[in-house]
Structure 1
């Protein structure tokens, strides 16, 4: 009897134990499932509310830079939307390669509402392109030398991407082995993003969406040193007459290209000061000028693959499918009139195309240095498939801009035209500052161009509807000022255009055949080598050092 009671108690105890254990396991499973579904932002490395253990610099880099130089007012207020205090140190994350490691840090920042992926001082070698996400900024250690205009500007946090190693035989080296970029996952939407205080070698910054429909905003490119950026022209080689290994540096590449709906700051960057990857191509084949014969350039220097033969900085002026309408307005080309675009304090070197190419309503292009190579020579047309003619344009320009309410101030620029082969001809280009009606150009309204210095002309060239524009106190050395409202198709007028107090070592030409009100050319100083030509409706007084011509009659 006692034995049976003991057996019953044992069975009851055993069953009770099983029930308790079952409830415990079930509770644990439920808790785990619940937490996994509700705390999706939890990181496997044990992040706090935001940031990772090693962290990094947490100050507002833009406010610090301009505040320390007594120019705190130059830091836009919208940069405060960046989560500067949430810092995710790249060394706190793992992956089978650096791209995976970066993606882990980026995704942790994104899941916590944005922040900084921080690269401490050092060299980081990537094997492929990388992409940001909305709210994520990548940042390096603050450089010892703060100004990118300084020749010894050298950020200690360095991102290195694959080098193109040319093979001048067979099919050549595949393009996919190099020519990488830094992009963003959803370029039409991703906002509060940026790249700060980094040396970037062999990767373009390319945050480009649809210029008409994008809704992204708040983009910062600051303190970047960019070198060895290019992409091959997709039309070269033309296999019917060119070697399969030939490559041609695509003229529409750029170190930095951005599109945004509002608020873009491109400031304190240094572009193309240490190009090491140019290479020659002996045996390059192309068509003759008349396309009747095939030429072979045995001298490899005639068609090098050149990493500076393209744009420097492009903001809301890249290509558009179908092209832009002539003389755009906010109605016909809204993408050219986005607000909050500022390009300032950059140092840009380029040897073809445009140093700074931008559009906006309220656009500011200020205190940039744009450098070029003198005594340049080139042997092909812009496509790289045909021998150059004497009338070729390679679009050597300092600043090409468009929009309304624009300030272009305090820029220093050098622009040189190419000698075409061994001929006496120079390329048909060489504009210092240009606003035109085509190719992303707009009508002109409330434009101020002042206190700039350069060796190439300032031109509002064949642009219909020029209104409320001042060109003041610029030094134009060995070149001209052109303001031409008449286009190739018909005459136009201009109103409230003032060309005042400039030093010009060339000509001043201001023409609007339909006349206008409040136009003035006064106080300009020449060096006795140039003409002053103008339409009869324009008031002209107190200019010196010009051969003043009779005014153009109105139509």
Structure 2
């Protein structure tokens, strides 16, 4: 569909202003950072204003009725004006929460002030700025009703969230799979006692019930309580991938697309579990009510094209203590003795903060093929500007292809050494007796949960930048900062980790940054400041492979270089022999200049694709973008170096423990052959270039960030406005004095018109109509300066290119 040049190029026009007023993401991210192009596809102007019906059941019924109406209209916005909306959600195994359908988005009232989630990032030792955040009180509030804990001591307060207290998704009448859903999400809502989950479906279906599933975790006979053995899995509940897979270890996930979570504040939110035994074998009297489910996330998404931004997962205010059996006691019916119960905390913060394409895929051993961009490798994931509180477990779990994780804060307390809940200290002084471990409660109360870290990641073409955290670790756990470790086929392919910081606060531990026990093909780690080490622990003769790794300018909090290094000689390459490249010092010579050899807008994916030539003496590359006519550049990615350049094919061969069909022909990332050099190309896909036109440049880096060798002069850099570019226009020469030729490619049965605009968007002249391939262009009568040529063809495609006219 055609779009006017004015709405794409010039923000002063009213049409763009109206668009932004309806689109809260466009209104907020109106600076150089941009936002995913696909967000403009949501039907923002088609909205239904919701009424507060006064009761939880009535509000739930109203939601479903208006959701279905919007779905029938092709999608739009359920707009909730300021107010507190109570939702009373049924609690049966086959019920549902606030389930969106394709094209439907929930939007609350935009706050007048206090709109920014991440407000303080001073990470100097002893500073507390990380604990500060915005979104203190949003105008529109969702409050879910709870159920009384079966271990409640205070019957007035010891209540917990219900299993369906969520915002999620379901299929409409026109979809046969959750994988056909798209354009769903939530904006500007404050939630209490709920969670968010947009999950996966499976191509080969599900088990008939949880009780008949083959999962080694919570599926199978005898592992459920409260009637949930009769749950019919369909992907709408966060436990379905664990509890309802037809054949564990061989499932092929199909996922929705274009999922948005923006401007949400979550207080006392967690994915609960009172329906499955915590241990993998059933034990009488044992429940999992100690807070968020180990494998669940407060924001959980399995999808392609994901935007999770400017959210706050707040410090909990409703934790309580209770007594219950633990896994170290009462493991059999005959051994159950209430006298052995332990004091525990229902801890809302002991659950994953944000999980995108990672944790649930890890646990159900889903097939995940990097070449097909599925499973762990779904495309286009952006997690930015979120403030997350944790007391144990992980702040962020993420995997994908073309991933950006930027400017997030994980404020947390060490699990075991910190006391985050002083309001429990008056509870008969029992706080000192709590078993604080978040997974396998021990008699000595010294075991760790092994998950109290900031980020777990994997994937292909991933960038972590300018994130901050504190308080990682638990008793017996070293509290990694940004960690990649093998989980059922996830690996490290072309990853950059830059400018991240750890604060020495809340008894945090080392904060290690790097991969562990994975294949590593392309890894740049630079300018990080943490308490521990930055490196690549792929040593100890593990069946791994590692190449194209560089570490530069990483320091501990005292300014001492921070490096964990094991060289190629320690890596087991029995499965293949190839040159390996590890760099931990600055190059002697300056890098040469890369050349941009590809730049185009892919209308199907909504990304600008940039590629460049490899150079010598570089530690990494940086890709910058700016709008035409502006002075400052905005960095859209750092990329690893590529020195090995081997066309060797390799097959990953890490066995998957517990997968009954591993090695039996199942196609996954471990058994799929890859070409080494294809996993770390000089390339980036920019999904956030809206309201252009833009120009790009690529820099080859030495060590210091300012030591850059650029690909080209900015005036000759390619320019693209992704919202409108389909058929590129080329001008020869450019800059031009006198005459030039404008060439273009359009469909054989199409015709084009060309118009020349000045930098203010004013039409200067028409260059031709009903054109097929090219036109001559005389500039002798024009004032020197920058202009834009726009092409529009009869197929509805458009393209904009800049031209510099000289005398």
Task: Give the TM bin, normalised by the shorter chain.
Answer: 0.7 to 0.9
- Indicate which of 353, 356, 360 corresponds to 1:319: 360
Q: What is aligned with 1:161?
A: 144
- Whether 1:76 aligns to 2:36 is yes
* Residues in 2 aligned to 1:439 and 1:140: alpha-carbon distance in whole angstroms: 39
Kindly report which structure 2 residues correspond to 1:74-113, keeping only aligned pairs within 5 A, or say none. Answer: 74-91=34-51, 97-113=58-74
Preserved CA contact (<8 Å) 1:109 1:116: yes
What is the Cα-based RMSD across aligned positions, in Å?
3.8
Q: What number of residue pairs does the alignment pair up?
A: 456
Give the superposition deviation at 1:61.
1.1
Kindly report which structure 2 residues correspond to 1:402-481, keeping only aligned pairs within 5 A, or say none. Answer: 402-418=458-474, 426-438=475-487, 441-442=490-491, 444-455=492-503, 456-476=510-530, 478-481=531-534
- Whether 1:501 aligns to 2:564 is no
* Residues in 2 aligned to 1:482 and 1:222: alpha-carbon distance in whole angstroms: 33
Give the superposition deviation at 1:146.
1.2
Q: What is aligned with 1:13?
A: none
- Indicate which of 237, 243, 253 corresponds to 1:213: 253
Q: What is aligned with 2:185?
A: 194
- Whether 1:250 aligns to 2:298 is no
SS in 1 for 2:524: strand
Give the superposition deviation at 1:236.
5.3
- Indicate which of 29, 52, 67 corresponds to 1:66: 29
User: Which segment is superposed worse, 209-218 or 141-150?
Assistant: 209-218
* Residues in 2 aligned to 1:239 and 1:214: alpha-carbon distance in whole angstroms: 31
Q: CA 1:84 to 1:297, structure 2 compared with 1: closer, same or farther past 3 Å?
A: farther
* Residues in 2 aligned to 1:177 and 1:495: alpha-carbon distance in whole angstroms: 47
Q: What is aligned with 2:377?
A: 337
* Residues in 1 aligned to 2:375 and 2:302: alpha-carbon distance in whole angstroms: 9
Please identify the structure whose Cα radius of gyration is greater. 1
- Whether 1:118 aligns to 2:79 is yes
Q: What is aligned with 1:226?
A: 266
* Residues in 1 aligned to 2:330 and 2:585: alpha-carbon distance in whole angstroms: 46
- Whether 1:180 aligns to 2:165 is yes
Preserved CA contact (<8 Å) 1:58 1:87: no
Q: Deviations over 1:257-310 (max 9, x none)?
A: 0111x210000000023x22211014655535999976868997x411111101
* Residues in 2 aligned to 1:440 and 1:279: alpha-carbon distance in whole angstroms: 38
User: Which segment is superposed worse, 407-416 or 510-519?
Assistant: 510-519
Preserved CA contact (<8 Å) 1:432 1:458: yes
* Residues in 1 aligned to 2:373 and 2:363: alpha-carbon distance in whole angstroms: 12
Q: CA 1:452 to 1:305, structure 2 compared with 1: closer, same or farther past 3 Å?
A: same
* Residues in 2 aligned to 1:227 and 1:97: alpha-carbon distance in whole angstroms: 23
Q: What is aligned with 1:149?
A: 118
* Residues in 1 aligned to 2:331 and 2:73: alpha-carbon distance in whole angstroms: 62
* Residues in 1 aligned to 2:88 and 2:493: alpha-carbon distance in whole angstroms: 47
- Indicate which of 443, 453, 456 corresponds to 1:387: 443
Kindly report which structure 2 residues correspond to 1:264-279, keeping only aligned pairs within 5 A, or say none. Answer: 264-273=306-315, 275-279=316-320
* Residues in 1 aligned to 2:398 and 2:288: alpha-carbon distance in whole angstroms: 34
SS in 2 for 1:160: strand
SS in 1 for 2:259: strand
- Indicate which of 380, 388, 393 corresponds to 1:348: 388
Q: What is aligned with 1:422?
A: none
SS in 1 for 2:43: coil
Q: TM-score, normalised by structure 1?
A: 0.73
Q: TM-score, normalised by structure 2?
A: 0.51
* Residues in 2 aligned to 1:208 and 1:500: alpha-carbon distance in whole angstroms: 38
Give the superposition deviation at 1:434.
0.4
Preserved CA contact (<8 Å) 1:393 1:429: no
Q: What is aligned with 1:520?
A: 583
Q: Deviations over 1:13-36 (max 9, x none)?
A: xxxxxxxxxxxxxxxxxxxxxxxx
Q: CA 1:465 to 1:174, structure 2 compared with 1: closer, same or farther past 3 Å?
A: closer
SS in 1 for 2:360: coil
Q: What is aligned with 1:21?
A: none
Preserved CA contact (<8 Å) 2:468 2:500: yes
SS in 2 for 1:193: strand
- Indicate which of 519, 525, 537 corresponds to 1:484: 537
Give the superposition deviation at 1:228.
1.5
Preserved CA contact (<8 Å) 2:308 2:382: yes
SS in 2 for 1:182: strand
Q: What is aligned with 1:6?
A: none
For structure 1, the 5+ residue unaligned runs are 1-55, 419-425, 525-536, 544-555
Preserved CA contact (<8 Å) 1:395 1:429: no
Larger RCO (CA within 8 A; separation ≥ 6): 2
* Residues in 1 aligned to 2:324 and 2:302: alpha-carbon distance in whole angstroms: 39
